[in-house]
Amino acid sequence: MVKVWWWRRCFPFAFILTAFIGGAYGGNVTYDGRSLIIDGEHRILFSGSIHYPRSTPQMWPNLIAKAKEGGLDVIQTYVFWNLHEPQQGQYNFRGRRNIVRFIKEIQAQGLYVTLRIGPYIESECTYGGLPIWLHDIPGIVFRSDNEQFKFHMQRFATKIVNVMKSANLYVSQGGPIILSQIENEYGNVEGAFHEKGLSYIRWAAQMAVGLQTGVPWVMCKQDNAPDPVINTCNGMQCGTTFKGPNSPNKPSLWTENWTSFYQVFGGVPYIRSAEDIAYNVALFIAKRGSYVNYYMYHGGTNFDRIASAFVTTSYYDEAPLDEYGLVRQPKWGHLKELHAAIKSCSKSLLYGTQTSFSLGSRQNAYVFKSNSTECAAFLENNEDRTVTVQLQNISYQLPPKSISILPDCKNVAFNTAKVRTQNDRSMKSYLRFNSAEKWKVYKEAIPSFDDTSLRANTLLDQISTAKDTSDYMWYTFRFNDNSPNAQSILSAYSQGHVLHTFINGNLVGSAHGSHRNASFVMENKLNLIKGMNNISFLSATVGLPNSGAYLEHKVAGLSRVKVQGQDITNQAWGYQVGLLGEKLQIYTASGSSKVQWERFQSSTKPLTWYKTTFDAPEGNDPIVLNLESMGKGYTWINGQGIGRYWVSFQTPRGTPSQKWYHIPRSLLKSTGNLLVLLEEETGNPLEITLDTVYITSQ
């Protein structure tokens, strides 16, 4: 077992684990080469990622209860720096950001917590979870041995640890937090920073341990994690790909077992089977793994504008608990059975001696014996055909690509390929918004150069200029054309993500990039009027980039413009950040009165705001908006952003990446709910429906 004196000897900061008398969690957490040790007891732990900002506080109790019922011991969450400190020095821990309330709810239900402070988290969160104001710190280099970044990283990490300590949330204080994480998958970028990468990771470990949380720290995908920090695995096959702990004194932990994969606009969902997840978990445990976290166990919703570039509003809907918190079978039930089977032989697994041997060309046995009577076995078939193997003179039939678990080395309690549970999810239409009289519209103004106050004789980077206050930024200029009979060619080079071109107030073209390649070139043949023409580009980001080295250097928006081959990049440009409707907050009840809304007409135009009201459905079934008839835009309910939609960017199969958008019931009143949509392109709001979601068993 790793003891406090060993940590002190290996590290300049004392890693103090204090005892707490009383309460459900009082005690300490240590580790050795086999597992985490909680209150002196070795533990095999199953964990699930649930991110508090991706659901509502009203949803948290039910999500945690279903996770516990599914056999989980731990809830794992990131800490979202950009949400907690949106402006430097101004903190927000209210509503969906109330992390203390979230952790206390976990504690109330008897589960532990792994707190991934980061504070860089990636997590398909805009800017990797870093607040945009970091971008403007002079001389800063993100995630490097850079004094400016380290100062702010340490300041925020200290803030979060102190918030946790003040609420007595570490297990040494009687709380549920048993594990913390610093940094996130830094091994992916460390090489780009050369010697400053290694020195930074050493500093990060030293800084974290120095915060004296009383619990161990981990670094995921960081093979060289400095002692006493534990290096952990992320991926889908950590039983095969993980090189293992970098010290014999550290346990084998799996911090991200991807239950599916995040989805992007224009992409098809990645479906990972329950059988494949179970197989790889069983293999990891068979190879002496002791902690498995499902990323995600509940993905939830990317509310507001928190999704990173091109990521859909729905997040990990294929997880064991879907976007709305409903049980998704067979994953939830199959994994529950897996957890029960493994826990039934945990004593043999943790204290027994492991032997492994071949049962065939691609068949293996992993046997754990703790004494003459305690025995557990995992029988693996890594072939795509059914095989029969023998263990202790007993024959066992193993389905293709499966592992059988024998808690007593005799009887099969579980096989990873044998699924017993199924269900189906359906949507039922509750309300059709098909009455034109109930819709009102407001047409967003198209600014010209003369309407702008921000000017520059070059093209400005959208990220640096807009500072993530809006997805939108206008680039405007004037062009004097003396040859009206000839068509002009306008070439616009964008570094992401979407571009709409307006000539004298009229839309003449649109284009966009993709998750794989955000940059693109848009060319239009233009019929200009004789004399002065106003050309306005509306550039839109769909979330900010969230990964890679030197994130602070990433850019978006226009980078070059040509008219008839003439480069006009370095001429006078006028800029407007955001839309007028955003500035006036016309998506709120109070802001809505600041503009003149008009009656709905049969024809729709780009950049149009729509509003209507509706009553909430009775009951408790989740509620969604079906926006299949719309194009691209954003939706608010009672002034709360429920995320971006982009139905027109279809998959290669010709279907939307996402057409249902979650409305948490806690955002609704019984009557008179305000629905506002900003439609960038064109769409038909008369075909929008309000649906309820329900599960049918099979």
pLDDT of residue 481: 83
Residue 12 scores a pLDDT above 50:
no
Residue 8 scores a pLDDT above 80:
no
DSSP alpha helix (H) spans, 432-518: 462-466
For the record, the structure tokens of 595 come out as: 């503009």
pLDDT of residue 646: 98
For the record, the structure tokens of 242 come out as: 């993980």
The DSSP code for 552 is: G
**pLDDT tens by residue, 427-437:** 999 999 999 99
Q: Hey, CA dihedral for 307, 310, 314, 320, is it positive or negative?
A: negative
- Tell how many helices (H) and how many strands (E) occur in the chain: 12, 38
For the record, the structure tokens of 288 come out as: 């002496």
- Beta carbons of 406 and 392 less than 8 angstroms apart: no
Residues 149 and 297 in one domain: yes
Beta strands at 423-432 and 45-50: parallel, antiparallel or unpaired = unpaired
Across 18-22, 183-187, 366-370, 510-514, least confident range:
18-22
Residues 613 and 476 in one domain: no
What's at 382, amino acid-wise? N
Name which of 505, 342, 508 is nearest 414 in CA terms: 342
**pLDDT tens by residue, 661-686:** 999 999 999 999 999 999 999 999 99
Residues 493-505 as b or e (16 or more Cβ within 10 Å = b): bbbbbbbbbbbee
**pLDDT tens by residue, 303-350:** 999 999 999 999 999 999 999 999 999 999 999 999 999 999 999 999
**Residue 38, domain member (yes or no):** yes
CA dist 658 to 55, 138, 317, 570, 647, Å? Answer: 18, 40, 11, 40, 7
pLDDT band per the 50, 70, 90 thresholds, residue 17: very low
**Residue 11, domain member (yes or no):** no
**Residue 6, domain member (yes or no):** no
**Residue 12, domain member (yes or no):** no
Q: What is the mean pLDDT of residues 45-57?
A: 98
Residues 238 and 305 in one domain: yes
* CA separation for the pair 220, 120 (Å, rounded): 12
pLDDT of residue 13: 34
Residues 496 and 433 in one domain: no
Residues 594 and 568 in one domain: no
Q: What is the mean pLDDT of residues 160-176?
A: 97
Active-site annotation, residues: 185, 256
Q: To which residue do tokens 């678990």 refer?
A: 405
How confident is the prediction for the chain on average, in pLDDT? 94
Residues 328 and 372 in one domain: no
**Residue 15, domain member (yes or no):** no
The DSSP code for 484 is: T
In the listed set 578, 599, 628, which residue is the last one of a domain according to the structure? Answer: 578
In the listed set 547, 563, 578, which residue is the last one of a domain according to the structure? Answer: 578
pLDDT of residue 604: 77
Residue 23 scores a pLDDT above 60:
no
pLDDT band per the 50, 70, 90 thresholds, residue 10: very low
Kindly report the pTM of this predicted structure: 0.95
Chain centroid offset of residue 522 CA: 31
In the listed set 289, 317, 340, which residue is the last one of a domain according to the structure? Answer: 340
pLDDT band per the 50, 70, 90 thresholds, residue 129: very high
Q: Hey, CA dihedral for 84, 90, 93, 94, is it positive or negative?
A: negative
Q: What is the mean pLDDT of residues 544-573?
A: 96
Q: To which residue do tokens 């106003």 refer?
A: 534
Partners of 363 in the beta sheet? Answer: 360, 381
Give the helix/strand (H/E) hosting 320. Answer: none
Residues 547 and 520 in one domain: yes
pLDDT of residue 20: 31
Residues 693 and 652 in one domain: yes
Residues 538 and 468 in one domain: yes
Cβ contacts of residue 69 below 8 Å, gap of 6+?
A: 336
Residue 24 scores a pLDDT above 50:
no
292 three-class SS? strand
pLDDT of residue 25: 58
- Using a 10 angstrom Cβ sphere, with 0-12 exposed, 13-18 middle and 19 or more buried, the burial of residue 698 is exposed
Residues 95 and 200 in one domain: yes
Residue 19 scores a pLDDT above 50:
no
529 three-class SS? coil
pLDDT of residue 487: 76
Among residues of the chain, what percentage have pLDDT more than 90?
A: 91
Name which of 53, 50, 29, 47 is nearest 39 in CA terms: 29
**pLDDT tens by residue, 268-297:** 999 999 999 999 999 999 999 999 999 999
CA distance from start to end of the chain: 48
pLDDT band per the 50, 70, 90 thresholds, residue 698: low
pLDDT of residue 133: 98
**pLDDT tens by residue, 201-230:** 999 999 999 999 999 999 999 999 999 999
Residues 541-566 as b or e (16 or more Cβ within 10 Å = b): bbbbbbbebebbebebbbbebbbeee
**pLDDT tens by residue, 342-359:** 999 999 999 999 999 999
Instruction: Determine how many CB atoms are found less than 10 A away from the CB of residue 394.
Output: 11
pLDDT of residue 373: 85
For the record, the structure tokens of 588 come out as: 């709120």
Residue 262 scores a pLDDT above 70:
yes
Q: Hey, CA dihedral for 478, 479, 484, 489, is it positive or negative?
A: negative
**Residue 9, domain member (yes or no):** no
* CA separation for the pair 60, 284 (Å, rounded): 29
Residues 437 and 449 in one domain: no
Residues 481 and 611 in one domain: no
pLDDT of residue 2: 40
Using alpha carbons only, what angle is made at residue 14 by residues 12 and 16, rounded to the nearest 5 degrees? 165
DSSP alpha helix (H) spans, 440-554: 462-466
**pLDDT tens by residue, 450-499:** 999 999 999 999 999 999 999 999 999 999 887 756 678 999 999 999 99
**Residue 386, domain member (yes or no):** yes
Give backbone dihedrals phi and psi of 513, rounded to 5 degrees, phi first: -95, -155
**Residue 350, domain member (yes or no):** no
Q: Could you tell me the CATH number of the domain that includes residue 458?
A: 2.60.120.260
Number of domains in the chain: 4
Domain hosting 369: range is 355-415
Name which of 167, 171, 133 is nearest 149 in CA terms: 133
pLDDT band per the 50, 70, 90 thresholds, residue 371: confident
**pLDDT tens by residue, 58-114:** 999 999 999 999 999 999 999 999 999 999 999 999 999 999 999 999 999 999 999
* CA separation for the pair 483, 585 (Å, rounded): 42
Instruction: Determine how many CB atoms are found less than 10 A away from the CB of residue 16.
Output: 13
pLDDT band per the 50, 70, 90 thresholds, residue 27: confident
Q: What is the mean pLDDT of residues 127-156?
A: 98
The CB-based long-range contact list for 90-93 (8 Å cut-off, 24+ gap) reads 91/159, 93/163
Q: Could you tell me the CATH number of the domain that includes residue 309?
A: 3.20.20.80
